[in-house]
Amino acid sequence: MKNGLGVPQNIVLFGGTSDIGCEIVRQLIQPGVANIVLVSRDIEAAETRWNGLLNDDNQVNVHHVRFDGADANGMVDVVNGIVDDIGDLDVVVVAHAVLGSESDFLKDPVAAASVASINYGATMVLLLALGERMKQQGYGRLCLLSSVAGMRVRWSNAVYGSSKAGIDGFALALDGELRQYGASLLVVRPGFVSTKMTAGMKKAPLSTTADAVASVTVKAIRGNGSVLWTPAAFRFIFGVFRLLPEAIWRRLPLG
């Protein structure tokens, strides 16, 4: 529960090694924050990362929980376990996803199922489990890292883009329901972000950094909006892209 100054005491990150997710949580830490929970498949990597982010002035308890982002059946148990351990969920950031860019899905169609499961199916179950908890609490702020790739799916990025389109649409619908009970969900739509996830890939126009995305996301989490485009120019760019005929959209040199 937030303290008397409105500071969230319990913050949870699903995707405890995510560059963007970790930076969001780091910037959320302030006096009054009591618990940080990092939910990761690789706890050792998460511990190593966080040892370099926290300093001696941070009076906060860091908890590590192991989970598999593709395990839809285990999501409810993970959420319940976190609640049993720290109590109410004030802010939860969901930042786990896979690109699948190393796969040729035409040659290996089954590989697409793994991307869809992590980015959409299992994430949908997770958001529902978190949403139910926040409904019971009567408050709470969820934050989902989506992507502009889901706003109009490109043929060269069809599996990832379509999975993000699906979870983005679901999350906005869930936000509409949660607001009836005092909770809310923020959907963050970054463009190309230079992180370990995109290392080696050609940078797209309006590329940004994890620090920059985190900074505007933290401000949005503290607000009450439902959607954040970052950089903000993408709101207008994709407003135009959505109106383009398919034949023109396919010829754009977007990769």
Residues of the chain with pLDDT under 50: 4
pLDDT at residue 229 in the model: 96
Q: Is the alpha carbon torsion for 165, 170, 171, 175 positive or negative?
A: positive
Split into its structural domains, the chain has a count of 1
Q: Is residue 4 part of a domain?
A: no
pLDDT tens sequence across 178-198: 999 999 999 999 987 766 655
Q: Is residue 189 part of a domain?
A: yes
The DSSP result for 29-82, as a single string, is --TT--EEEEEES-HHHHHHHHHTT--TT---EEEEEE--TT-GGGHHHHHHHH
Q: Is residue 139 part of a domain?
A: yes
Q: Is residue 1 part of a domain?
A: no
pLDDT tens sequence across 67-110: 998 999 999 999 999 999 999 999 999 998 888 776 788 999 99
Q: What CATH number has the domain bearing residue 127?
A: 3.40.50.720
Q: Is residue 2 part of a domain?
A: no
Q: Is residue 3 part of a domain?
A: no
Q: Is 160 designated active site?
A: yes
Q: Is residue 196 part of a domain?
A: yes
Question: Which residues constitute the domain of residue 119?
Answer: 10-251
Q: Is residue 86 part of a domain?
A: yes
Catalytic residue among 120, 139, 160, 181, which? 160
